[in-house]
């Protein structure tokens, strides 16, 4: 799988997660969910356990993405020294 293919698969996973998030947030807040592209692979109570489950399915690390089921922070504010 090329880097472009991986990036495309991850963007598909992000879109699927964002589509599903309102319902998942209502049903499974704080849990973890794994996607391979648009395909949802499963849920977990702990992130590292869900990683292990995906590995056991034969998937490589770069083939899937795990998200926490919660509102997604997209901005943080830091002191100016950080970007100096």
Partner 1 sequence: MPLFIDRLPFHRWTDPTRSPPLSYWTVVLPVMVAEPSLTGPPPVAQVQEWALDTGNRGEAFAWRHHLLLAGLDPDQGRLPLPMTILTVAGKVTVPVRDVDLWLVSNLPGSPPPPYRIVLRRGLPFLDVATIPDPQFQRPLIGIRTLRTARLKVEMDFDQDTVSVWTPDPVRP
Q: Which residues bind partner 1 (CB under 8 A)?
A: 7, 10-11, 13-14, 46-49, 51-52, 55, 61-62, 65-68, 70, 72-84
Distance CA 11, CA 82 (A): 28
Nearer to partner 1, 26 or 77 (CB): 77
Nearer to partner 1, 23 or 48 (CB): 48
Q: Report CA Rg, the chain.
A: 15
Nearer to partner 1, 19 or 48 (CB): 48
Of 40, 36, 38, 15, the residue nearest 27 (C-alpha): 40
């Amino acid at each position: 799988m090329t880097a472009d293919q991986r990036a495309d698969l991850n963007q598909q996973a992000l879109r699927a997660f964002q589509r599903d998030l309102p319902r998942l947030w209502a049903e499974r807040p704080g849990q973890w969910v794994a996607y391979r592209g648009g395909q949802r692979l499963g849920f977990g109570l702990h992130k590292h356990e869900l990683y292990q489950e995906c590995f056991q399915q034969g998937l490589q690390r770069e083939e899937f993405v795990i998200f926490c089921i919660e509102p997604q922070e997209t901005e943080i504010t830091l002191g100016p020294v950080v970007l100096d």
